[in-house]
C-alpha cells in the first residue's frame, strides 16, 4: 500500500481527488483526526499533559 498526500486546497489537487473518486481506484481518508486524537489535542491545548522525568516514569504514568 502506498500513501500519497494531495493538497485538496489547490485546483490540481481537487482534480486528482475527483479522478480517484470517479475511477474508484484508491481510498481517500478524511482530513479530520479520529476522536482520541482530537481529545488529546484539546487536552494539550488546555495544558493537561503527562510529564515525566524518564521513559520509565512516563510508561508508568501512562499505564503501559
> Over the stretch 46-55, which tens digit does the pLDDT of each residue have?
999 878 899 9
Q: Tell me the C-alpha distance between 46 and 39, whole Å.
A: 11
Domain boundaries, the chain: 1-31, 32-64
pLDDT of residue 32: 83
Q: Per the confidence metrics, is the pTM higher than 0.75?
A: no
C-alpha cell at 58: 512516563
Cα separation of the two ends of the chain: 30
pLDDT, tens digit, for every residue of 5-57? 899 899 999 999 999 999 999 999 888 888 999 999 999 999 998 788 999 99
Closest CA to 30 of 15, 48, 17: 17
Amino acid at each position: 500500500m502506498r500513501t500519497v498526500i494531495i493538497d485538496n486546497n489547490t485546483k490540481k489537487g481537487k482534480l486528482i481527488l475527483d479522478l480517484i473518486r470517479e475511477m474508484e481506484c484508491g481510498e481517500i481518508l478524511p482530513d479530520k483526526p479520529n476522536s482520541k486524537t482530537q481529545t488529546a489535542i484539546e487536552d494539550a491545548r488546555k495544558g493537561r499533559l503527562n510529564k515525566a522525568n524518564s521513559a520509565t516514569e512516563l510508561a508508568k504514568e501512562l499505564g503501559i
